[in-house]
Amino acid sequence: GENVEQHPSTLSVQEGDSAVIKCTYSDSASNYFPWYKQELGKGPQLIIDIRSNVGEKKDQRIAVTLNKTAKHFSLHITETQPEDSAVYFCAASDGRGNKLVFGTGTILRVKS
Amino acid sequence: EPEVTQTPSHQVTQMGQEVILRCVPISNHLYFYWYRQILGQKVEFLVSFYNNEISEKSEIFDDQFSVERPDGSNFTLKIRSTKLEDSAMYFCASSPQGTDTQYFGPGTRLTVL
């Protein structure tokens, strides 16, 4: 089955700096890769996603890149703000209606 | 904006007791899921449900677990005889037809004593 690995487990950055979180997946059938932000005591909130027919997607300060050949995808947050502090999870799925397989999460701390 | 809701937010139970966790998915969504997250760990898939039947389940989802859509709005997860290791956050998610996107609820924290 699918296995998703995520690095780093913790990341501390200064406000205004960029943050990059990386994930690798094992199943070449996976074609959908969302990123979720989880704040303390809350459920995962979708922040951006990418499908396998696209190499990069951007939404304001957030971008995701996908390298299908290497089976890895990354989340990029620019101009980080204190409110970006949270746990970020990557995930992978092989199709509509199918389960998400999550990475182990990255605790992002943005220091002001 | 429509949201997935879950009740209760926190459930405390004794080992061996039955619990029912409730979810109201987003209206007109057709795919429903339960996931769990043990404290400090990653989110793990339990079960997916479509067209009134289970479409996939994980090895965690053993005979002690069951799901039901008793009416047009609720989606429930029942644990028949809770164990200490069932203590976790349980998240419900739903997805509309024709898309991969899953929307998560705020979770129910289950504590088994």
Nearest CA in chain A to B30: A97
Residue B100 has pLDDT above 90, yes or no: no
- Contacts of residue A52, defined as CB under 8 A and 6 or more positions apart, other chains included, come to A30, A31, A32, A33, A66, A68
Handedness of CA B25, B26, B32, B36 (dihedral sign): negative
Residue B24 has pLDDT above 90, yes or no: yes
Residue B35 has pLDDT above 80, yes or no: yes
Position B99 confidence tier, pLDDT thresholds 50, 70, 90: confident
Spans of chain A, pLDDT less than 50:
none
Predicted local distance difference test score (pLDDT) of residue A53: 87
Q: Give the best residue of A49, A89, A100, A107 to mutate against chain B (max B CB count within 10 A).
A: A100
Give me the residue label for tokens 């990069």: A56
- Beta carbons of A98 and B56 less than 8 Å apart: yes
Predicted local distance difference test score (pLDDT) of residue A82: 96
pLDDT digits (tens, 9 = 90+) for B61-96: 999 999 999 887 899 999 999 999 999 999 999 999
Is residue B75 a contact partner of residue B92, using CB atoms and an 8 Å limit? yes
